[in-house]
């Protein structure tokens, strides 16, 4: 089997209600959908999710360019799509960084392979450890009262963890945590994600103020490069410290483990570089006995699927709570078992029910593309890119 051609589609999905993060208003998810075609008639789909220059440093244009100009001509067109490990290895050897672009390729290859094997991707990853993956809810920025009310709704909907984002204003962060704790009680797991926006002095003093609130963890209090600072901080505070932006490649994990710089690790498939690399990553977390949380870039049902399949298959990850709720954030709802999601890149959005995420059962990710939705939401000013020779495809009828 050989890859004949690929398509890169820039899509901007509007949010029903803008999602506010400190200093940022997200009104659209600007992502890239990848289709990989073959001479056997099988087609693989991937969605890289939202692009964020401050989180990943990659954009729609950078992802499309690196795949169109380098990855596809050298490692995809004319090659066997079933050799995923080989392709991932070549991408890592010859293309530095760009993990969101690499993840998009890895996602579509796994979908394709699942379709060839006629089984869901979770079967390729080891089979089911659990049926549904417990999810936390990520509350948007707001007044302390608004955030507390949203946290209450999330718990009532079945979510077992609440995460809020820091605004970089430490006093405001303490007010928000206090209001939410008063609303949801002391036992519910509560996470504050700082996204690296504090400096060491703020992190030390604010975390000490927050210690009384029995939080599950504070995520990435310091900038991504300051692993040594995380290690120092961790020795001086009571609240567990998780590394997100600091923990990307395996050598980052090694440094975090060697320095004992974190109590847990946060993974996104796009940060790790896809499912192959995420499995290596999770093995290192397991070796170091570090709990993991998995998130999303905020995206469609197709974007949520690779992580959803891995989180029920991987025995280490399956023991923890994740926050892979992109389709719910986009559609401003807390489940889609009763209220079906139709405005999505995927025709079959995996089911979120009672705070758990259940990946689809069909071959690959079990998803057909919502071509009508995609056509209506091509990013303004951008065009679809193709590589390869579409006349060599086998089209099944
Ligand atoms: Mg984070």
Contacts of 173 by beta carbon, 8 Å cutoff, 6+ apart:
166, 167, 192, 194, 206, 210
Evaluate if residue 287 carries a pLDDT over 80: yes
Ligand 1 centre to CA of 333 (Å) is 21
Specify the range with the lowest mean pLDDT, choosing from 187-191, 240-244, 357-361: 187-191
Evaluate if residue 313 carries a pLDDT over 90: yes
Write down the pLDDT at residue 54.
84
Ligand 1 centre to CA of 271 (Å) is 11
Ligand 1 centre to CA of 137 (Å) is 13
Q: Is residue 365 a contact partner of residue 357, using CB atoms and an 8 Å limit?
A: no
Percent of the chain with pLDDT over 90: 93
Ligand 1 centre to CA of 128 (Å) is 26
pLDDT band at 52 (very low <50, low <70, confident <90, very high): confident
Percent of the chain with pLDDT over 70: 99
Q: Average pLDDT in the 223-243 region? A: 98
Q: Which fold has domain 124-358?
A: TIM Barrel (3.20.20)
Q: Average pLDDT in the 283-308 region? A: 97
Ligand 1 centre to CA of 219 (Å) is 6
Ligand 1 centre to CA of 117 (Å) is 34
Ligand 1 centre to CA of 6 (Å) is 31
Ligand 1 centre to CA of 292 (Å) is 12
Ligand 1 centre to CA of 77 (Å) is 35
Write down the pLDDT at residue 110.
98
Other beta carbons within 10 angstroms of residue 393's beta carbon come to: 17
pLDDT band at 53 (very low <50, low <70, confident <90, very high): confident
Write down the pLDDT at residue 142.
83
327-361 pLDDT, tens digit per residue, is 999 999 999 999 999 999 999 999 999 999 999 99
pLDDT band at 92 (very low <50, low <70, confident <90, very high): very high
Q: Average pLDDT in the 175-201 region? A: 94
Ligand 1 centre to CA of 43 (Å) is 32
pLDDT band at 396 (very low <50, low <70, confident <90, very high): confident
Ligand 1 centre to CA of 79 (Å) is 36
Evaluate if residue 27 carries a pLDDT over 80: yes
pLDDT band at 20 (very low <50, low <70, confident <90, very high): confident
Ligand 1 centre to CA of 93 (Å) is 27
Write down the pLDDT at residue 280.
98
Write down the pLDDT at residue 19.
87
Specify the range with the lowest mean pLDDT, choosing from 217-226, 239-248, 283-292, 387-396: 387-396
Q: Average pLDDT in the 142-167 region? A: 93
Evaluate if residue 35 carries a pLDDT over 90: yes
Q: Average pLDDT in the 145-174 region? A: 92
Who wins on pLDDT, 11 or 52? 11
Ligand 1 centre to CA of 227 (Å) is 15
Evaluate if residue 22 carries a pLDDT over 80: no
Ligand 1 centre to CA of 124 (Å) is 28
Ligand 1 centre to CA of 245 (Å) is 7
The mean pLDDT value of the chain amounts to 96
Write down the pLDDT at residue 281.
98
Specify the range with the lowest mean pLDDT, choosing from 18-22, 120-124, 126-130, 324-328: 18-22
Q: Average pLDDT in the 372-393 region? A: 97
**Where, residue-wise, is CATH 3.30.390.10 in the chain?**
3-118+369-392
Evaluate if residue 14 carries a pLDDT over 90: yes
Q: Which fold has domain 3-118+369-392?
A: Enolase-like; domain 1 (3.30.390)
Ligand 1 centre to CA of 107 (Å) is 21
Evaluate if residue 397 carries a pLDDT over 80: no
Q: Which residues fall inside 5 Å of ion ligand 1, going by CB?
A: 193, 219, 244
Ligand 1 centre to CA of 7 (Å) is 30
Ligand 1 centre to CA of 122 (Å) is 25
Q: Average pLDDT in the 216-224 region? A: 97
Evaluate if residue 279 carries a pLDDT over 90: yes
**Where, residue-wise, is CATH 3.20.20.120 in the chain?**
124-358
pTM exceeding 0.95: yes
């Amino acid at each position: 089997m050989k890859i004949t051609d690929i398509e890169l589609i820039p899509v901007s999905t509007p949010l029903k209600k803008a999602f506010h993060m400190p200093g940022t208003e997200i009104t659209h998810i600007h992502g890239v959908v990848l289709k990989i075609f073959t001479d056997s008639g099988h087609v693989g789909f991937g969605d890289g999710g939202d692009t964020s220059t401050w989180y990943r440093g990659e954009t729609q244009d950078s992802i499309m360019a690196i795949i169109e100009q380098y990855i596809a001509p050298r490692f995809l067109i004319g090659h066997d799509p079933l050799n995923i490990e080989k392709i991932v290895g070549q991408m890592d050897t010859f293309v530095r960084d760009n993990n969101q672009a690499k993840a998009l390729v890895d996602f579509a290859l796994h979908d394709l392979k699942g379709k060839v094997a006629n089984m869901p991707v979770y079967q390729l990853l080891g089979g089911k450890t659990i049926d549904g993956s417990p999810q936390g809810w990520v509350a948007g920025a707001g007044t302390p009262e608004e955030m507390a009310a949203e946290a209450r709704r999330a718990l009532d909907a079945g979510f077992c963890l609440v995460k809020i984002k820091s605004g970089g204003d430490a006093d405001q962060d303490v007010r928000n945590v206090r209001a939410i704790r008063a609303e949801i009680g002391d036992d519910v797991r509560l996470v504050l994600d700082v996204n690296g926006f504090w400096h060491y002095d703020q992190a030390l003093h604010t975390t000490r103020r927050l210690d009384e609130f029995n939080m599950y963890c504070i995520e990435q209090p310091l900038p991504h490069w300051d692993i040594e600072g995380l290690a120092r901080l961790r020795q001086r505070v009571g609240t567990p410290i998780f590394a997100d932006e600091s923990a990307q490649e395996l050598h980052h994990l090694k440094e975090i483990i060697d320095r004992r710089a974190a109590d847990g690790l946060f993974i996104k498939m796009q940060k790790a570089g896809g499912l192959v690399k995420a499995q290596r990553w999770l093995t290192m977390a397991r070796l170091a006995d570090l709990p993991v949380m998995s998130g999303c870039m905020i995206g469609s049902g197709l974007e949520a699927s690779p992580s959803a399949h891995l989180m029920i298959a991987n025995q280490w990850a399956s023991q923890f709570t994740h926050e892979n709720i992109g389709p719910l954030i986009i559609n401003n709802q807390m489940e889609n078992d009763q209220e079906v999601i139709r405005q999505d890149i995927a025709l079959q959005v995996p089911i979120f029910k009672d705070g758990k995420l259940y990946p689809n059962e069909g071959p690959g990710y079990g998803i057909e593309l919502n071509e009508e939705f995609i056509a209506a939401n091509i990013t303004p000013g951008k065009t679809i890119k193709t590589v390869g020779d579409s006349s060599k495809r086998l089209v099944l009828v």
